[in-house]
Amino acid sequence: MAEPVLEMENIQKYFPGVHALDNARLCVNAGEVHGLIGENGAGKSTLMKVLAGIYKKDGGTIRLRGKEVEINSPEDARKLGIGIIHQELNLMPHLTVAANIFIGREPRKGLFLNEAKAVKDSGALLKSLSIDIDPTAVINTLTVAMQQMVEIAKALSYQSDILVMDEPTAALTENEIQELFKFIRALKAEGHTIIYISHRLDELPMITDRITVMRDGQFVNTVETASVTKQEIISMMVGRTIYEEPKLKSDVPSDAPVVLEARHLMAKNVRDVSFTLRRGEILGFAGLMGAGRTETMRALFGADPLVSGEILLNGKPVAVKSPSDAVRLGIGYLSEDRKAFGLSTGLSVRDNCVMASLEEFTSGPFTDDRKIEKAAREYIEKIDIKTPSTAQLVKNLSGGNQQKIVVAKWLIRNCDILIFDEPTRGIDVGAKNEIYKLMRRLASEQKSIIMISSELPELLRMSDRIVVMNEGRVTGEMDISLASQESIMTYATSN
């Protein structure tokens, strides 16, 4: 029986207001490729950042080769032979391959850098790994797959024998993926241990020996890859109790008119996306990280350039080349990062409420403060924003009330189509319910809502219909009466 090279037991990690890891555990055998999977927010990356010393654990034990260790920094992890390759590559694009491999520990000759030795040593390293890349090549001239190989070589240059790969195939083509798998198998044959994080379930039988499933920051199960089906893995991933009852049928009449239609949208990370939105409908958009949901909506809203495709409002083609075009046409966008894109937190509730429609409250160079005050008060009352006054600074309010202010901004602007991107991210359970009630009320008032959410129970509770995306494409669409966590995850992991 294989010996564990890594054991993480009862790992705890807290962030403000969040218990990110709750008695999490992981046992990895020497020389295996071990899959680590779970939904967005399951705790996979957090657990690996604890292992890599990026986060300090708040409880639990880590044992390497049978010996308990403390990992308080990335340097500690490197000294213990642990390397991590993040999904977002951490390379200097304007420097050479050799410079990137040895950055921060460059060979020297006296007071000067010894570039010749860096090139020679990195060339020898690449050759030993059968990586055919010129060490003098500049990183930004390489393909993403080749950059990925440089990241791996860099990690191995620290004599790492445990490698964590976080979504390594997210930006690769099918041929590049097969090359990466070939390389991983070669590393395994040389005795390296790989922890492989991926949301592409179809990859797991091709590359992993065992799989650990996490859910809500906790360990669910570790299974032999050969003995488990994809559907069983999905059931483990989404098996938490749904406390809120899912919606059983759509609230939208079958003859409700289509208010928005997207036809064959093409943009950055958006590939031939088409869908319709009806009056009074809450249309959910599901998918894993990087699926292209936010990019689709940003292109629709004019925040990112649309390469091709057509947008129709009430059956008529419209040109949306900027957010101001979208707003003028009655489309409002509630970004997943409300503080960066939805609010000016240093300004008052009143100022934020009218930010998108100031022209309605101005006459020449003057603003009608009494009219602004009246509008702000009306919507504070209408959607139950808890604030001591309209003059309160937004930064002093809770996340749920800040989200409501963004909604008020678009309602005062009289937008009939509202795009909610992760509407309850970062807010507590009570505030979530308030947002849900508000969204239902808006739909009952014939507003049409597109809701992007990474929380499957939320989508099942709120949506009338669900569109599922993966890798920039629509992979499934279903009426809420036919939707389940398992069916959504099946589409979300399909190519």
Instruction: Tell me: pLDDT of 160 over 70.
Output: yes
Nearest to 40 by CA among 233, 215, 170: 215
User: Which tens digits make up the pLDDT trace of 281-301?
Assistant: 999 999 887 789 999 999 999
Question: How many of the other CB atoms lie within 10 Å of CB of 15?
Answer: 11
Backbone phi, psi, residue 82, to 5°:
-110, 125
pLDDT value of position 242: 37
Strands 33-37 and 210-215: parallel
Paired with 84 in beta bridges are 164
Nearest to 90 by CA among 127, 133, 52, 50: 52
For the segment 121-135, the average pLDDT, to the nearest whole number, is: 86
Backbone phi, psi, residue 58, to 5°:
-100, 5
Nearest to 399 by CA among 440, 430, 376, 373: 430
pLDDT value of position 81: 92
For the segment 371-383, the average pLDDT, to the nearest whole number, is: 86
Instruction: Please give the DSSP secondary-structure letter assigned to residue 306.
Output: -
Q: What is the CATH number of domain 4-237?
A: 3.40.50.300
Q: Distance (Å, rounded) from C-alpha 328 to C-alpha 309?
A: 20
pLDDT value of position 170: 65
Nearest to 415 by CA among 332, 352, 296: 332
User: Which tens digits make up the pLDDT trace of 64-113?
Assistant: 999 999 999 999 998 999 988 876 677 888 999 999 888 888 888 888 88
pLDDT value of position 241: 43
pLDDT value of position 17: 67
User: Which tens digits make up the pLDDT trace of 234-247?
Assistant: 888 877 443 456 78
pLDDT value of position 115: 86
Q: What pLDDT band is residue 1 in, cutting at 50, 70 and 90?
A: low
User: Which tens digits make up the pLDDT trace of 386-424?
Assistant: 888 888 888 877 777 888 888 888 888 878 999 988 887
Provide the Cα torsion 315, 316, 320, 324; round to 10°: -90
Q: How do the domains of the chain map onto residue ranges?
A: 4-237, 258-492
Q: What pLDDT band is residue 338 in, cutting at 50, 70 and 90?
A: low
Paired with 417 in beta bridges are 331, 448
- Please name the residues in contact with 482: beta carbons below 8 A apart, sequence gap of 6 or more: none
Radius of gyration of the chain (CA): 25
| Full-model pTM | 0.58
H/E stretch holding 345 reads none
- For residues 420 and 281, the answer to whether their CB atoms sit within 8 Å is no
- Please name the residues in contact with 7: beta carbons below 8 A apart, sequence gap of 6 or more: 25, 26, 27, 28, 61, 62, 63
Label each residue of 277-311 as H, E or C: EECCCEEEEECCCCCCHHHHHHHHHCCCCCCEEEE
Average pLDDT in the chain: 87
Instruction: Tell me: pLDDT of 355 over 90.
Output: no
Higher pLDDT, 202 or 57: 57
pLDDT value of position 243: 47
pLDDT value of position 426: 59
Higher pLDDT, 312 or 393: 312
Q: Do domains 4-237 and 258-492 have the same CATH topology?
A: yes
Most confident range (mean pLDDT) of 177-191, 201-215, 235-249 is: 201-215
Alpha helices for 157-190 (secondary structure H): 174-189
Percentage above 70 pLDDT, the chain: 94
Q: Distance (Å, rounded) from C-alpha 268 to C-alpha 49?
A: 29
pLDDT value of position 356: 79
Class at the top of the CATH hierarchy for domain 258-492: alpha beta
pLDDT value of position 52: 93
User: Which tens digits make up the pLDDT trace of 219-233?
Assistant: 999 999 999 988 888
Q: What pLDDT band is residue 54 in, cutting at 50, 70 and 90?
A: very high
Most confident range (mean pLDDT) of 30-34, 246-250, 482-486 is: 30-34
